Structure 1
Amino acid sequence: MKTIGVAGNHAVHANPKFGTNYVNYIQKNYMTGITEAGALPIILPISQPELAVDYVATVDALVLAGGQDVSPDYYGEEPIPAIGEIDRHRDAFELALVKEAIRVGKPIFGICRGAQVINVALGGTLYQDLASQYEPLAVKHNQYPTKWSTPTHQLQWQRPNWLSDVISPKSLVNTFHHQAIKDFGTGLVLDATSSDGVVEAFSDDKRQIYGVQWHPEMLLMAEPESQKIFDRFVALV
């Protein structure tokens, strides 16, 4: 059975359920998408970046999940007032995972923040905040309080790609982000945008690197067709 390493998150604030017991975790929907695709998910807890070599060696492919903003110093910028929460420990570990997976030639799939981390690892940059930095903004890219599982905006495909025969050109996707890819990292090619031009998907077929800005794992709760995205990634591993 193929093994898919899923980079986890961790609690960094005290909360009513766990207090100061700062747990490692990952949303169960990622596990569902991977197991239903016939692969075995293995959660990779945040650790020292130098352990990325050993973590990547234990899996056949890597998935990077959503979460906090990426610290802008990793792409040479100072934080603007509108930036959200960052977690440099998570950033450093995930950037190391991406670089190691690329070094040894293992497939990578990034979702939302995960796609942004891939881009930064390859030398790309981000809009720290679309509302204050992206002039053509015309779509609501953070649909809250609308439910995670509700698709809200369309994709505009820019070229044939790994999802062209999986997702209908008329499909709607969900969206929970205020950051987005600005300049692409080395080797990444645009696959899809929103109607206002924000990057929604990219890939590098040669190195088997894939990223989407929406959350297919959350769409699984109401849109079973999203399972085909996980099926396709696992099939490529």
Structure 2
Amino acid sequence: MSLPGEQLYRLSSGEQVRLYVRRLIFEGVLKQGQRVPQDAIAQTLGVSRVPVREALLTLEREGWMTIVPHRGVFVNGLDEPSVRDHYELYGLFYGFGVKRAVERQGPELARLLEPIRKKIARTKDPVNLYEYTLSFHRTVIEAARSPRLRTMLRQMTDLVPGNFFELVPGTDVVAREGTAAILGAIERNEAAGAESEYATMLRRQGSLVVELFRGRHMFDSDETAES
């Protein structure tokens, strides 16, 4: 099979291979039920089988793959409820984080977030928007002062490989509106309101990801309906 990747720099870690394999799923090169061509991936990326194996073990833990002993590694299918649940969970985690941050930082949190929110509102560049939005999230989580929350978030994996705002139409608007609403609640010292606004923003982003995946025929139901 022909795999994309010739333009990538030489990859040398399981994490980089993991991101690459997820991109193959996203681009439809690897489909549900397909056996993962480990040798072809290793050859395309110029790495040994070791980081490929490490990446596939991680992807199995994340739910992307199923490893069948003596048979190989197979791609799991995505479905709409799983995608929506993913972003609902993000909303719960970040909602909890902003609630704790408001309780523990008070007005100082709004002062920290306002310059970032202004950058998010002004930029038209998706690369900058991605960085500013990550900075907004990071500032909230740091202000929450919850090591347990940081641990839980590290276990979550993005469903969309690459720059979220370049790949998912409409998410720039959601980010601008959402961060403004979150900051407004923080300025009013409404911890529960900020929590609710975070959940709303991430739920809206999840709906846009569902639309994108449906358009790419990445859901089981799409293939079933066409067969």
TM-score interval w.r.t. the shorter chain?
under 0.3
Task: Determine which structure has the larger strand proportion and give its number.
Answer: 1
The two structures have a TM-score, normalised by structure 2, of 0.25
Give the number of the structure with larger relative contact order, counting CA–CA contacts within 8 Å between residues 6 or more apart.
2
Structure having the higher Rg: 2
* Structure 1 length-normalised TM: 0.24
Judging by fraction of residues, say which structure has more helix.
2
